[in-house]
């Protein structure tokens, strides 16, 4: 066997060049490129094409076929022409996710793993702000693994091709499993830190002590006191009670203000659950885009192709129009009595179907034409998206949100209540204003049938869970980069709403915040994050309708993100 050392500098260059293909074409396994480079380094030529082809087939089938075809940039375009093929491949990918997840070497090993892989091969396409210590570890481990596999695997292939194939796949799977175990362990550690705030506080305190005093603009506790003052100002502006949670580089802060129930002194719990209203739309949109990534539907499918005869002019209105509110559909909420009308309470316990509510809206003319020419926020579009999710997946949108988001992210305080009127766990009471005989009164509306809000507003959650959800979404855990990029693209030029994701850039420091707000009548909420996920804030309140607390909420967000 030839001495590989003289060829090693060239092999390393070839190795990096070939490995970079994995960042450009997700369906090309970088292990195959590494092994090819290794053989080239040892023999001076690719004289074993059959061996390389066998390796490619083995790694491609075992590591990339079902997962890569359904998740990659190229896959949906290649197989999406046939819905039957799309569904078959998507089913295979789900099985692979469930049963062989640790073996998928090229899916994000650690937070920022895909970024690290691209960095190791010189293909970094994301800001340096995305990097973290975990990313650095992943980059080092990935580059070492690729170099070792190419160098040693190439030597083995020259003498024993079949042994080399087995060894290459074995090492590939072992490394993937190891990274997966580390990732899960890190996830459990983060959960434990959240469960033991004293420990987290101690870690944060040590981190602060390590920073030179000159670098600290003002004491951390003073900053947190100002946030508490801002939260108190929200209650003074028009709320019965309020709670907020901030996550930044110094850890987590949570605050409460006001009371959980009128006429009592019971404090709001920091772990309270609340109806998050239209924040549900981001969950529904995420599931819709996941189905698009699997080839089960296309974002530019006509609504008519999924719901024949349901939507007038449905052949011109697309799934994208529903997601970004540019379809011109009349909002069904405008067909129902709303507070302060006393007739509003007549529907309190009624179970509504999505088809029934959307039919009320679609009996009205569109708010504008043609579709895509303007923006008008419409809850009707998300009712229709719920129906499309059911058609595309074979499950209700509630089941899909739970299966795809709530369970994998371990959002313990988040639920899709369906027709259940109660809010499980600790929660503040919510109220609505009702006029009776010329007198306005606040009616406790905590218990109600949430089917009236459906796929656009029924979710119950907590401040911690919403922060976790948006961190995962913006961090690339829930969607591939191309679909996340589309989610952050406004429906109209200069707009502030993408595919189920809104942004807030009225901060004094000019930072754009991504997230959503929610209005469930008796509960109002806001959950926003910086694009890099380093700072997040979720605020929830129960309004008393004596004033408008939105400006005070804006002031708190500004303080949290710009101070």
Catalytically active residues are 278
Instruction: Tokens for 237, please give them.
Output: 């502006």
- Helix then strand count (H, E) for the chain reads 21, 10
Q: Which residue has the tokens 């900053």?
A: 223
Task: Find how far residue 420's CA is from the centre of its chain.
Answer: 26
536, 529 Cβ separation under 8 angstroms? yes
253 - beta bridge partners?
A: 246
- CB-based burial, 91-124: b 16+ in 10 Å, e otherwise: eebeebbeebebbbbbbbbbbbbbbbbbbbbebb
Q: Give the single-character DSSP code of 46.
A: -
Give the 3-state DSSP-derived string for 479-490, with helices as H, strands as E and coil as C.
CCHHHHHHHCCC
Nearest Cα to Cα of residue 532 among 128, 117, 116: 128
CA distance 163 to 103: 19
DSSP 301: -
Do 535 and 525 contact (CB within 8 A), yes or no? no
Side-chain-side CA neighbours of 265 within 13 Å: the count stands at: 0
């Amino acid at each position: 066997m030839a001495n590989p050392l003289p060829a090693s500098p060239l092999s390393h260059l070839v190795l990096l060049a070939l490995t970079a293909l994995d960042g450009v074409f997700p369906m090309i396994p970088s292990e195959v490129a590494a092994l090819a480079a290794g053989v080239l380094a040892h023999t001076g030529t690719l004289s074993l094409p059959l061996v390389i082809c066998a390796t490619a087939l083995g790694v491609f089938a075992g590591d990339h076929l079902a997962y890569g075809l359904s998740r990659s940039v190229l896959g949906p375009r290649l197989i999406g022409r046939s819905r039957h093929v799309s569904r078959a491949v998507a089913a295979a990918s789900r099985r692979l996710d469930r049963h062989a997840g640790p073996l998928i070497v090229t899916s994000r090993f650690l937070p920022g793993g895909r970024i690290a892989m691209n960095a190791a091969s010189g293909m970094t396409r994301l800001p340096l702000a995305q990097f973290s210590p975990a990313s650095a570890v992943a980059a080092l481990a990935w580059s070492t693994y690729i170099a070792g596999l190419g160098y040693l695997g190439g030597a083995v292939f020259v003498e024993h091709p079949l042994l080399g194939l087995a060894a290459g796949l074995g090492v590939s799977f072992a490394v993937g499993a190891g990274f997966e175990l580390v990732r899960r362990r890190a996830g459990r550690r983060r959960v434990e830190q959240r469960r033991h705030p004293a420990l987290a506080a101690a870690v944060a305190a040590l981190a602060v002590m390590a920073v030179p005093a000159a670098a600290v603009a003002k004491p951390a506790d003073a900053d947190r006191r100002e946030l508490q003052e801002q939260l108190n100002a929200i209650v003074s502006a028009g709320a019965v009670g309020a709670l907020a949670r901030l996550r930044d580089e110094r850890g987590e802060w949570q605050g409460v203000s006001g009371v959980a129930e009128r006429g009592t002194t019971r404090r709001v719990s920091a772990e309270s659950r609340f109806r998050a209203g239209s924040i549900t739309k981001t969950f529904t949109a995420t599931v819709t885009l996941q189905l698009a990534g699997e080839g089960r539907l296309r974002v530019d499918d006509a609504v008519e192709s999924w719901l024949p005869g349901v939507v007038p002019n449905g052949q011109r209105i697309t799934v994208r129009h529903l997601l970004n509110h540019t379809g011109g559909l009349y909002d069904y909420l405008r067909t129902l009595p709303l507070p302060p009308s006393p007739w509003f309470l007549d529907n309190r316990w009624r179970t509504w179907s999505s088809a029934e509510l959307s039919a009320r809206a679609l009996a009205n003319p569109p708010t504008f034409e043609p579709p895509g020419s303007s923006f008008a926020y419409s809850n009707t579009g998300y009712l229709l998206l719920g129906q499309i999710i059911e058609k595309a997946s074979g499950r209700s949108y509630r089941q899909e949100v739970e299966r795809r988001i709530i369970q994998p992210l371990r959002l313990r305080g988040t639920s899709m209540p369906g027709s259940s009127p109660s809010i499980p766990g600790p929660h503040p009471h919510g109220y609505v204003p009702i006029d009776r005989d010329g007198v306005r009164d606040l009616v406790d509306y905590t218990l109600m049938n949430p089917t009236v809000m459906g796929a656009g507003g029924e979710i119950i959650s907590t401040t911690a869970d919403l922060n976790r959800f948006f961190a995962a979404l913006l961090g690339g855990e829930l969607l591939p980069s191309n679909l996340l990029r589309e989610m952050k693209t406004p429906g109209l030029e200069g707009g502030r709403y993408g595919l189920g994701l809104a942004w807030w850039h009225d901060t004094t420091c000019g930072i754009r915040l991504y997230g959503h707000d929610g209005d469930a009548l008796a509960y109002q909420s806001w959950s926003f994050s910086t694009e890099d996920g380093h700072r997040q804030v979720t605020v929830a309140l129960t309004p008393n309708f004596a004033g408008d607390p939105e400006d005070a909420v804006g002031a708190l967000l500004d303080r949290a993100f710009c101070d």
